[in-house]
Amino acid sequence: MQQPHESARADASPSRPQDAPPPADPARILVVDDDPTVAEIVSGYLQRAGHIVDRADDGPTALDRAAAHWPDLVVLDLMLPGMDGLEVCRRMRGTGPVPIVMLTARGDEDDRIVGLEVGADDYVTKPFSPRELVLRVESVLRRTRPAPAPCPASAAGLAVDPAARRATKDGAELALTLREFDLLAFFLRYPGQAFTREELMREVWGWDFGDLSTVTVHVRRLRGKIEDDPARPRLIQTVWGVGYRFDPAGREAD
């Protein structure tokens, strides 16, 4: 299995700056990877960032650890022996909401898209920089614990309550992932305004860089949950040459 980037491996034992305070609310993070070197480096960086880290080297062990101490976030390798990361992701999602950052051993776009389709909130492709992984993890955690929460918003039968992390359509609760919820909440705050994928990545994900297919996949998944006919979306419309726009009137796109 591929390892983290060699420049990162040389810093496998980083020290936290003396003047950097630990996070006020440390997260419990479950790292699932069958390569002990990768797991050790990732765990070390996350611990030095102030988080509590559990480890598992296969899918069944990961599910057992999660059941014993439900994590605030999971760093999950896609290529696990026996039960792969996709199945682990599905089973965890079936148990309860938990943010998942998936590690993929290949740069193949299909692997990344499948990971997002089954509910991963982010992915990092090996070889990777452990520092970048920590930044991605903390970005996802910030989205999990928004403070202060924006005000509730509603339009076109859709409603979001950011404080409760609850979204509904015509009164029925929607089963949204972390990023799907944030994306819907953002669209509801800015009805009728078109955004590029770069703007959505920056405003919803908090990144100034990254693979824009992440935005495309999440828009498609969100359409599948809020549109009457996802193949002919009326609420989240594609603005050709620009990006996407939320139309609360649900008019047919031009």
The answer to whether 39 touches 31, Cβ cutoff 8 Å, is yes
Among candidate residues 144, 168, 195, the one where a domain is terminated? 144
Tokens for 204, please give them: 């919803």
Q: In this predicted model, what pLDDT tens digit does every residue of 210-249 receive, in sequence order?
A: 778 889 999 999 999 999 999 999 999 999 999 999 999 8
Q: Determine the pLDDT at residue 14.
A: 39
Among candidate residues 97, 125, 144, the one where a domain is terminated? 144
Three-state secondary structure call for residue 235:
coil
Q: How many folded domains does the chain comprise? A: 2
Q: What is the mean pLDDT of residues 118-137?
A: 85
- The whole-model pTM stands at 0.58
Q: Determine the pLDDT at residue 21.
A: 44
| C-alpha closest to that of 56 among 73, 83, 72, 76 | 76
Q: Determine the pLDDT at residue 32.
A: 97
Other beta carbons within 10 angstroms of residue 222's beta carbon come to 25
Same domain, 106 and 32: yes
Distance CA 59, CA 54 (A): 14
Q: How confident is the model at residue 127 (pLDDT cuts 50, 70, 90)?
A: confident
Same domain, 79 and 185: no
CATH number at residue 221: 1.10.10.10
171: left (phi over 0), alpha (psi -120 to 50) or beta: left
Cα–Cα separations (whole angstroms), residue 234 to 65, 95, 173, 253: 42, 32, 20, 6
Q: In this predicted model, what pLDDT tens digit does every residue of 175-221 receive, in sequence order?
A: 998 889 999 999 999 999 999 999 998 888 877 667 788 899 999 99
Task: Report yes or no on 42 lying in a domain.
Answer: yes
CATH number at residue 15: 3.40.50.2300
One-letter amino acid of 127 = P
Distance CA 4, CA 8 (A): 7
Q: In this predicted model, what pLDDT tens digit does every residue of 139-171 receive, in sequence order?
A: 888 877 655 456 678 888 999 998 888 999 999
Residue 17 predicted with pLDDT over 60:
no
Same domain, 106 and 232: no
What residue numbers bound the domain in which 183 lies?
153-246
| C-alpha closest to that of 223 among 195, 187, 199 | 187
Same domain, 47 and 100: yes
Q: In this predicted model, what pLDDT tens digit does every residue of 78-115 receive, in sequence order?
A: 889 889 998 999 899 888 888 999 998 765 667 667 77
Distance CA 31, CA 43 (A): 7
